[in-house]
């Protein structure tokens, strides 16, 4: 070879090497791995907040990185109308005496006049929430930083809240309520009977989990009184969990947990003066262990409280107003349903003359005005559509802002609806929107934080002007994350509706492999939840779950999901309540019918390679799928499932199934364990031994049943992990690696042609 030719070859090689390296780099950027999803921060979203609207309704505060102290955050205020920014509290001003670094802020709140700041720090988990920690106040007028409850042990205060006048703070320690004077530091104990059995000012386990009740007390508008819950947990069965890993000898953790049909806490609500003295108890009717009081607020003044009282079956909800002075009560409204009724947060209309309420009494979930004097209620949102939530009331301009999606159950939008009840409805924002839109509306109803996304598009948060919904400025663009996701090798998620027989259509989505070839067949993996507590077919950013599903699609799977009847979609009362007394029965039948309909409609889906997986209720549905329809589903992966309905808590299970004593057959037929003997395919069951929500007890009962039936299966226990199975270094990566390996081993990935099948 001549020298000239050699130089030409070497030059060509030199040019090809970086081109090849670039191609490999681009391919790597387009291909997902478990490490990229679960070990790195590559797909971590940009966060905005926590942001708080100020009382004037035209300004808000948020936390932003401090330019002066690494790792610290300044509290910054913005004016919505002008965009003006100023540092309200610099991190340097939040350094306690004797400390070297500023407080690390987990959350914060303002007094109504915006002069006193209360900070939550050093948060510790109580069950699944960071609800115990330390609290500090900072006075903008004096620059004084002081710790609340300094005499108590670190990280033992709960739910500290400023009084409306900003002079006092109330909090809970060891199940008792205390009030502290911010000027003098004097602490007054308002309740004294709190202990392991008596809970004041917070909630028991089941109220926290199912009614989302944590901070169990409310300041009166005049700052002179506190209304609060009291739970007597004596008689509630005790559940025990063993921790084998945190010490030389095992330790036992116990807590009161009422399973379906078992004894509940006795609950009552009362009012106590902030200056101390006896509690005035509301004179509720009925056995306090057979009722629920899931909501309590002051009734628009400092003389009365308003609360909701549910019967144990949760099919009757009374709205009750009680006298703070005498405890005398009167019912102003009762909502009933043959199945169950929902719990509402209180919003007053007409200067406190009526209460806003959501009810399904006409077959759709609508907004009603309930007069305070007990008069006839008035429908405010007529029409054949569901109102899924109330965002704000603009009494000045005569609007209610509601979340709804009249034409597509997989999406969510905000509408403004006329308060006159004539049905005038207008979409907020431009026409042609897609995805899910969430709004945090300012007190003046002139502005809102607006966050929107789709299942495969990361969220954007912006400041919008109401009532138009026009964007003013972007608050969190997530540009880097969107670019990362856009660079992935993928097909966009497809939404569709499938007929499954009997006049029923189900909504669903699917993710096809990037190199999809319709002439070949691919394995179908169904992601399922299916219970009344949530939807999987919702066009909202799916985060790491979506990315994992996309990774599986890149490896040669079709991943799909279906929303069966009983899921909380905006498809009318009949759709949602059809599941009553047959949880696990109707839903799994719908899921199987949907899978069969998909196989019939998609010739590229391989009927011999159908898998299913889910978590929590989705884990239960996975078990029902594998046991009830063993010839359809070949591989299942059930995480944190409920195999036996009697083992789950009273509030959730009885709401949808009735009492075990009245529906024993339904409880048995809805429990996957009843049909475990039918297992044919490959089954992986996963659970955390420290799951206080869905107990490891059920996992062990299922294992016993499968062993007794001579079934082959795979099991994985994560020591001392909770329901989310995330505690401990490497846990999440390990779990999803396990799921991926199991799936690839038992439901082989990739396309097959007619010749290879």
Mean pLDDT for the stretch of residues 288-314? 97
What are the domain boundaries of the chain? 48-184, 492-746
Q: How confident is the model at residue 16 (pLDDT cuts 50, 70, 90)?
A: very low
Q: What does the pLDDT look like over 348-360, one tens digit per residue?
A: 998 889 999 999 9
Q: How confident is the model at residue 424 (pLDDT cuts 50, 70, 90)?
A: confident
One of 3.40.50.800, 3.20.20.70, 3.60.110.10, 3.40.50.1820 is the CATH number of 492-746, namely 3.40.50.1820
Q: What pLDDT sits at residue 131?
A: 83
CB 292 within 8 A of CB 309: yes
pLDDT reading at 5 higher than 70: no
Residue 355: beta bridge partners? Answer: 348, 370
Q: What does the pLDDT look like over 550-609, one tens digit per residue?
A: 999 999 999 999 999 999 999 999 999 999 999 999 999 999 999 999 999 999 999 999
pLDDT reading at 479 higher than 60: yes
Q: What does the pLDDT look like over 278-295, one tens digit per residue?
A: 999 999 999 999 999 999
Mean pLDDT for the stretch of residues 468-491? 97
Q: What pLDDT sits at residue 184?
A: 95
Q: What pLDDT sits at residue 128?
A: 65
Q: How confident is the model at residue 752 (pLDDT cuts 50, 70, 90)?
A: confident
In this structure, the strands spanning 682-688 and 635-639 are parallel
Cα(639)–Cα(702) distance, integer angstroms: 13
- Cis preceding-peptide flag for 50 (omega within 30 of 0): yes
Query: What CATH number does the domain located at 48-184 have?
Result: 2.130.10.10
pLDDT reading at 14 higher than 60: no
pLDDT reading at 437 higher than 90: yes
Q: Is the dihedral of CA 426, 429, 433, 434 positive or negative?
A: negative
Residue matched to tokens 């990739």? 750
What percentage of the chain carries pLDDT values higher than 90? 92
Q: What pLDDT sits at residue 28?
A: 80
Mean pLDDT for the stretch of residues 3-19? 45
In this structure, the strands spanning 436-441 and 304-311 are unpaired
Q: What does the pLDDT look like over 319-342, one tens digit per residue?
A: 999 999 999 999 999 999 999 999
Mean pLDDT for the stretch of residues 78-102? 95
Q: How confident is the model at residue 25 (pLDDT cuts 50, 70, 90)?
A: low
Q: What does the pLDDT look like over 113-151, one tens digit per residue?
A: 999 999 999 988 776 666 899 999 999 999 999 999 999
Cα(580)–Cα(655) distance, integer angstroms: 8
């Amino acid at each position: 070879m001549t020298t000239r030719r050699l130089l030409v070859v070497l030059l060509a090689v030199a040019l090809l090497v970086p081109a090849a390296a670039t191609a490999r780099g681009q391919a790597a950027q387009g291909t997902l791995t478990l490490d990229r999803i679960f070990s790195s921060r590559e797909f971590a979203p940009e966060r905005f907040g926590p942001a708080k609207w100020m009382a004037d309704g035209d300004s808000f505060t948020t936390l932003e990185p401090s330019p002066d102290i690494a790792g610290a955050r300044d509290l910054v205020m913005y004016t919505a109308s002008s965009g003006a920014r100023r540092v309200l509290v610099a991190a340097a001003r939040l350094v306690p005496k004797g400390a070297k670094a500023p407080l690390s802020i987990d959350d914060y709140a303002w007094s109504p006049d915006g002069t006193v700041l209360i900070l939550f720090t050093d948060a510790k988990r109580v069950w699944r929430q960071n609800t115990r920690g330390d609290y500090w106040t900072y006075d903008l007028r004096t620059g004084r930083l002081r710790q609340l409850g300094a005499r108590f042990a670190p990280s033992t205060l709960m739910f500290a809240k400023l009084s409306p006048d900003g002079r006092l703070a109330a909090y809970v320690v060891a199940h008792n309520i205390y009030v502290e004077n911010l000027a003098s530091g004097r602490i007054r104990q308002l309740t004294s009977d709190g202990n392991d059995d008596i809970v004041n000012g917070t909630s028991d386990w089941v109220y926290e989990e199912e009614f989302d009740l944590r901070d169990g007390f409310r300041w009166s508008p005049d700052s002179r009184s506190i209304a609060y819950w009291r739970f007597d947990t004596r008689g509630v069965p005790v559940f025990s969990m063993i921790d084998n890993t945190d010490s030389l000898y095992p330790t036992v953790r116990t807590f009161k947990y009422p399973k379906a049909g078992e004894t509940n806490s006795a609950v009552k609500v009362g009012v106590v003066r902030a200056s101390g003295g006896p509690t005035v108890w509301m004179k509720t009717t009925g056995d306090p262990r057979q009722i629920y009081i899931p909501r309590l607020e002051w009734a628009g003044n400092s003389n009365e409280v308003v609360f909701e009282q549910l019967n144990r079956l949760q099919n009757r909800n009374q709205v009750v107003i009680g006298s703070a002075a005498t405890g005398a009560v009167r019912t102003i409204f009762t909502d009933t349903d043959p199945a169950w009724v929902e719990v509402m947060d209180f919003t007053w209309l007409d200067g406190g003359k009526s209460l806003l309420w959501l009810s399904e009494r006409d077959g759709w979930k609508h907004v009603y005005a309930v007069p305070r004097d007990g008069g006839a209620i008035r429908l405010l949102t007529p029409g054949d559509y569901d109102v899924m939530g109330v965002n704000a009331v603009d009494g000045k301009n005569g609007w209610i802002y509601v979340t709804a999606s009249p034409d597509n159950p997989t999406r969510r939008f905000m509408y403004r609806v006329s308060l006159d009840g004539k049905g005038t409805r207008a979409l907020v924002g431009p026409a042609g929107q897609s995805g899910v839109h969430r709004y945090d509306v300012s007190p003046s109803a002139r502005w809102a934080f607006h966050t929107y996304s789709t299942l495969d598009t990361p969220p954007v948060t912006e400041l919008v002007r109401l009532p138009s919904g026009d964007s003013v400025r972007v608050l969190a663009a997530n540009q880097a994350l969107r670019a990362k996701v856009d660079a992935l090798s993928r097909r966009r998620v497809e939404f569709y509706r499938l007929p499954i027989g009997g006049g029923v259509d189900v909504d669903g989505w699917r993710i096809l492999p990037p190199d999809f070839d319709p002439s070949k067949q691919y394995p179908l993996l169904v992601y399922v939840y299916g219970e009344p507590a949530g939807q999987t077919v919702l066009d909202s950013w799916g985060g790491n779950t979506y990315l994992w599903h996309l990774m599986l699609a890149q490896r040669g799977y079709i991943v799909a999901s279906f929303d069966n009847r009983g899921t909380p979609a905006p498809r009318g009362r009949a759709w949602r309540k059809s599941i009553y007394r047959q949880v696990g029965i109707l839903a799994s039948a719908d899921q199987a019918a949907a899978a069969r309909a998909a196989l019939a409609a998609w010739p590229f889906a391989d009927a011999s390679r159908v898998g299913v997986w889910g978590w929590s209720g989705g884990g239960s549905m996975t078990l029902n799928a594998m046991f009830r329809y063993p010839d359809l589903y070949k591989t299942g992966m059930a995480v944190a499932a409920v195999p036996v309905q009697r083992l789950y808590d009273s509030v959730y299970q009885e709401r949808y199934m009735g009492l075990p004593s009245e529906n024993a057959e339904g409880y048995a037929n809805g429990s996957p364990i009843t049909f475990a003997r039918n297992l044919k395919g490959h089954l992986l069951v996963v659970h955390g031994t420290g799951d206080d929500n869905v107990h490891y007890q059920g996992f062990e009962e299922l294992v016993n049943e499968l062993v007794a039936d001579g079934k082959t299966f795979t099991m994985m226990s994560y020591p001392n992990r909770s329901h989310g199975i995330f505690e401990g270094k490497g846990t999440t990566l390990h779990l999803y690696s396990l799921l991926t390996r199991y799936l690839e081993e038992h439901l082989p990935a990739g396309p097959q042609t007619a010749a290879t099948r």
